[in-house]
């Protein structure tokens, strides 16, 4: 049996050998425990069959980023789609943009999926990478998007509209003193804050800086910070939280100090992840189809990898209000 025949079977060129010979070669390879060198195969084929997934997080936040329900849920769906398409996923998490740029420049991946890039971060990655890029929740100008040479798509959500719907619902059910809880004032949460402010203004409710419930999410401090915010919530009728996790934590902290939800305080979350359903009371929240966002991001990236141009560089999905038990009508 020639080395050429064995090589043809290893590299999938089975049309050049008979079925009997192919089976003999595969049986022999299994017998000797042969494992192909993927790197060598990819180098010869000029592609890697690897999709890079980069999560840009904030300082002191990356330690627990994978435990967040939104992240774990969307990554699970992404990995499944990547695997079914015959690719592999390479995941990198960092709060250092220079570090991210150095890593993607060294990777031999076929495409990149980027999470939560700010300003021109995504463009800087693309200029270093020069291969297809799909972003999730990246807010950049139309002028910046034009510089991607048809190799960029952002999968976003109508975050402002979703938050506006949540606050409008609270106002409709009689709430006037409404707080906004977040651990930052940038990116997605900043857009949600705009929806909060707009709903208040439309209802003639004056906003004060003290209405912003700023949570310290640093590991080791988050519980004590949430306890302080629960004390602060005694002066409010409702609090909008930028995630279901934070809504669930706020409810627990309130219950510990004698504030009953929703009898004393109404609470709304965002995302419709499993904490909203497991919490008692179950949490009224803004639903987004997380699995569909992940599926769509990989589907578009794989098409771009084989040379298809995206029809649009912006795909914005619609959220919807899900009413459960954590909001009570005020009279």
Structural domains for the chain: 3-36 (no CATH), 50-158+290-318 (3.40.50.2300), 159-288 (3.40.50.2300)
Structure tokens belonging to residue 273: 């992840």
The closest alpha carbon to 50, from 112, 115, 128, 127, belongs to 112
pLDDT of residue 129: 86
Classified as helix, coil or strand, 41 is helix
Mean pLDDT for the chain? 88
Higher pLDDT, 2 or 218: 218
Say whether pLDDT at 106 is over 70. yes
> What pLDDT score does 3 carry?
67
pTM over 0.85: no
pLDDT the model gives residue 68: 87
Of the candidate ranges 195-199, 270-274, 308-312, the one whose mean pLDDT is the lowest:
308-312
Encoded tokens for 29 = 């390879």
Asked if the model's pLDDT at residue 44 lies above 80, the reply is: no
Residue 33: which pLDDT band, with cuts at 50, 70 and 90? low
Buried b (16+ CB within 10 A) or exposed e, 239-253: bbbbbbbbbbbbbbb
In this predicted structure, which of 21-25, 91-95, 191-195 has the lowest mean pLDDT? 21-25
Per-residue pLDDT averaged across 10-38, rounded?
Answer: 66
Of the CA atoms within 13 Å of residue 110, those in its CB half-sphere come to 24
pLDDT at 148 > cutoff 90: no
pLDDT of residue 1: 59
What are the φ/ψ torsions at residue 10 (nearest 5 degrees)? -60, -40
**pLDDT exceeding 70 applies to what percent of the chain?**
88
Say what the pLDDT of residue 302 is: 94
What's the whole-number mean pLDDT along residues 266-294?
96
Judge contact between 139 and 191, C-beta under 8 A. Answer: yes
What is the token pair recorded at 112?
A: 């990149």
Environment class of residue 130 by beta-carbon count within 10 Å: exposed (0-12), middle (13-18) or buried (19+)? exposed
In this predicted model, what pLDDT tens digit does every residue of 243-277 receive, in sequence order?
Answer: 999 999 999 999 999 999 999 999 999 999 999 99
Nearest-angstrom CA–CA distance, 10 and 22: 9
Q: Is the pLDDT of residue 221 over 70?
A: yes
Give the C-alpha separation, 252 to 290, whole Å: 25
Q: Given this model, what pLDDT does residue 294 score? A: 92
User: Taking residues 5-14, what's their average pLDDT?
Assistant: 61
Helix 3-10 vs helix 19-32: crossing angle, to nearest 10: 80
pLDDT digits (tens, 9 = 90+) for 224-238: 999 999 999 999 999
Q: What number is the average pLDDT over the span 28-36?
A: 63
Rounded distance between C-alpha atoms, residue 101 and residue 88, angstroms: 21
Long-range contact list for 205-209, CB < 8 A, 24+ apart? 205/171, 205/176, 205/178
| pLDDT score recorded for residue 163 | 98
pLDDT over 70 (residue 132): yes
The CB density around residue 28, as the number of other CB atoms within 10 Å, is: 13
What's the pLDDT at 43? 47
């Amino acid at each position: 049996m020639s080395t050429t025949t064995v090589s043809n079977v290893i590299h999938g060129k089975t049309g050049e050998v008979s079925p009997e010979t192919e089976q003999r070669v595969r049986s022999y390879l299994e017998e000797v425990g042969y494992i192909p060198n993927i790197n060598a195969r990819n180098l010869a084929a000029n592609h890697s069959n690897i999709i890079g997934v980069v999560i840009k997080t904030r300082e002191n936040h990356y330690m627990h980023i994978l435990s967040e329900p939104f992240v774990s849920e969307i990554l699970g769906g992404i990995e499944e789609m990547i695997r079914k398409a015959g690719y592999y996923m390479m995941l990198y998490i960092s709060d250092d943009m220079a570090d991210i740029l150095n890593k993607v420049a060294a990777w031999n991946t076929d495409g990149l999926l980027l999470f939560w890039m700010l300003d021109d971060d995504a463009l800087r990655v693309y200029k270093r990478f020069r291969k297809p890029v799909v972003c999730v929740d990246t807010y950049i100008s139309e002028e910046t998007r034009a510089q991607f040479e048809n190799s960029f798509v952002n999968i976003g959500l109508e975050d402002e509209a979703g938050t506006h719907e949540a606050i409008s619902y609270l106002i409709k059910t009689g709430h006037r003193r409404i707080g906004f809880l977040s651990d930052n004032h940038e990116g997605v949460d900043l857009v949600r804050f705009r929806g909060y402010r707009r709903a208040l203004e439309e209802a003639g409710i004056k906003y004060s800086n003290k209405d912003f419930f700023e949570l310290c999410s640093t590991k080791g401090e988050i519980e004590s910070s949430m306890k302080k915010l629960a004390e602060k919530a005694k002066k409010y009728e409702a609090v909008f939280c930028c995630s279901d996790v934070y809504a669930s934590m706020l409810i627990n902290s309130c219950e510990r100090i004698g504030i009953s939800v929703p009898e004393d305080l109404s609470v709304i979350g965002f995302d419709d992840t499993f904490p909203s359903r497991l919490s008692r009371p179950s949490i009224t929240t803004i639903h987004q189809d997380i699995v569909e966002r992940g599926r769509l991001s990989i589907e578009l990236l794989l098409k771009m990898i084989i040379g298809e141009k995206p029809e649009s560089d912006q795909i914005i999905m619609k959220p919807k209000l899900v009413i459960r038990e954590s909001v009570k009508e005020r009279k």
